[in-house]
Amino acid sequence: MSAPPPQDAGCVRLYFRVELSQIAYVRFIVEAYEGLALVSSLPGRAELEWVVPRALAAQAEELAAALGREITLVPIRRPADWPVG
């Protein structure tokens, strides 16, 4: 398992809404791209946060777009009540 990217290492945070039933699938796919992103979710919530090294942001956005065509993965703004990490 990859270590999460340090918060101060030039990372970007991407947020998505997805059906609850698809969260495990999205985690599985993103984690297959080792080092691409750290995926976080909150219990019972349909939002995801990806913490992505800035150098891999374009690749992460391409993967998100591909997942969006396959399942309901929609980019959103950071939820106001999302914990600061």
Q: Is residue 22 part of a domain?
A: yes
Residues in the chain: 85
Tell me: pLDDT of 53 over 90.
yes
Residue 29 lies in a domain: yes
**Beta-ladder partners of 16:** 48, 75
Q: Strand (E) positions, the chain?
A: 11-18, 38-41, 47-53, 73-76
Q: What is the pLDDT of residue 16?
A: 97
Note down the domain range covering 45. Answer: 18-76
pLDDT in tens, 2-34: 444 444 569 999 999 999 999 999 999 999 999
Q: How many domains, the chain?
A: 1
pLDDT band at 84 (very low <50, low <70, confident <90, very high): confident
Residues 6+ apart with CB under 8 A from 26: 16, 18, 39, 48, 67, 71, 73
What is the pLDDT of the chain when averaged over all its residues?
A: 89
